Each structure stands twice: as C-alpha cells, then as structure tokens.
Amino acid sequence: METKKVSRYKGIKLLQDNARPHIHSDVINYLTEEGIIIMSHPPYSPDLAPFDYWLNDYIKRNLTDQPDEKSLARAVSKVMKKNSERRI
C-alpha cells in the first residue's frame, strides 16, 4: 500500500532573501519536498525591502485599469484599507 506524504506546511509561501545558506541545494530540496512554495525574489535593490516586492505585486493584481492618477490613487488606497482591515 502506497501512502502519500501530507505536508504540515500546506499553503505556506516563503519569500527569502537569496542569502547563500537559503539557496543551498539541500535547503531548496527540503522546501520542495515539504511542499513549501518559494517565491522568487529579485536581486538586491537599495530602494526596496523584500516586503515591498510582495506588496507591489499584490496591489498590481488587485487593481483594474485606472484612467488617471487620481483614480489610481483612490484605488490603491481602497486596496490598502481593505487589506489592513483583513490583516493580509
């Protein structure tokens, strides 16, 4: 009888900072075996912290095309308020 391994980490996404210990093949293999999704992280940027990449992507996915700057600002504020209440 074959049993399927159930991951206790189901649904976890890991955003790591590309430090050498984090990208070692043993670490990557372990995370993959455990079903942990590794989110890609751009190379180092002096302007953005790792959280900013996730937040910017989240905002982009949740905004529709806005005709002007004011509409865009209102839409961003709405998304931010909604998610601050939900505690992303």
Please check whether residues 37 and 50 belong to one and the same domain. Answer: no
Please check whether residues 58 and 76 belong to one and the same domain. Answer: yes
Please check whether residues 52 and 29 belong to one and the same domain. Answer: no
Structural domain for 76, as ranges:
45-88
Please check whether residues 83 and 52 belong to one and the same domain. Answer: yes
Q: How far apart are CA 59 and CA 75, in angstroms?
A: 9
Q: Is the pLDDT of residue 63 over 50?
A: yes
Instruction: Give backbone dihedrals phi and psi of 45, rounded to 5 degrees, phi first.
Output: -130, 130
Residue 69 within any structural domain of the chain: yes
Tell me the average pLDDT of the chain. Answer: 72
Residue 30 within any structural domain of the chain: yes
Q: Is the pLDDT of residue 30 over 70?
A: yes
Instruction: Give backbone dihedrals phi and psi of 83, rounded to 5 degrees, phi first.
Output: -80, -25
What is the value of pTM for the model shown?
0.37
Tokens of 57: 């992507």
Beta bridge mates, 80:
none
